[in-house]
Amino acid sequence: KKILILNGPNLNRLGKREPNIYGSETLADLQASLEKLASQLACEIAFKQSNHEGEIIDLIHKAEDREYAGLIINPGAFTHYSYAIRDAIASVSLPTIEVHISNVHAREPFRHQSVISPVTIGQIVGLGTKGYKLALLSLVKEDF
C-alpha cells in the first residue's frame, strides 16, 4: 500500500514555528519517523509539503492517478476556509484522514471549524505529531 502524507502552509517551519504550540520536532524529523513506521508496516509513503493551495489540489488529483491507497492531510490554515481543497478531496476516491498537531478546539474560534472534515473518514487533533502515526496505522492496518 502507498499512502500520501500532505502538509499544508507553514508546516515547513515546524520546529521553529511557535514551538510552544507545535513542538520542537522539525518536518524532516517527522518524515523520518513516519518512514520508519511505514517500513515496519511494510507500506510506502510519499511525504509532501506545500504552501500553495493550487499545488495541494494538484497533488490530491495526482494521488488518485498514482494509485495511492489513502491520504493523510494536515491542511494548516486552509482547513478552516478552503472549499477548493475540500472539493478536491471529494473529487477523488481516496480514504482521507485529517490531522492537526495542536488541539484546534482549545485555540482561537476560527480554528474550531474545519471545512475539510465532512469529506474525510475522520479527524485526529491535539495529539501532536503522533496523530500522523495513528492515521497511518489506521489506513494501513485493517485490524488496528
Q: Can you give the binding site for ligand DQA, defined by CB under 6 A?
A: 10, 74, 76-77, 79, 100-102, 104, 111
Which of 68, 83, 100, 105 is the catalytic position? 100
102 marked as part of a ligand binding site: yes
Q: Is 100 noted as a catalytic residue in this protein?
A: yes
Q: Is 68 noted as a catalytic residue in this protein?
A: no
Which of 22, 81, 105, 112 is the catalytic position? 22
Largest CA distance in the chain: 40
Distances (CA, A) of 135 to 16, 29, 52, 72, 73: 24, 17, 23, 7, 10
Residue pair 46/68 in contact (Cβ under 8 Å)? The answer is yes
CB of 100 to ligand DQA, least distance (A): 4
Which residues are known catalytic residues? Answer: 22, 100
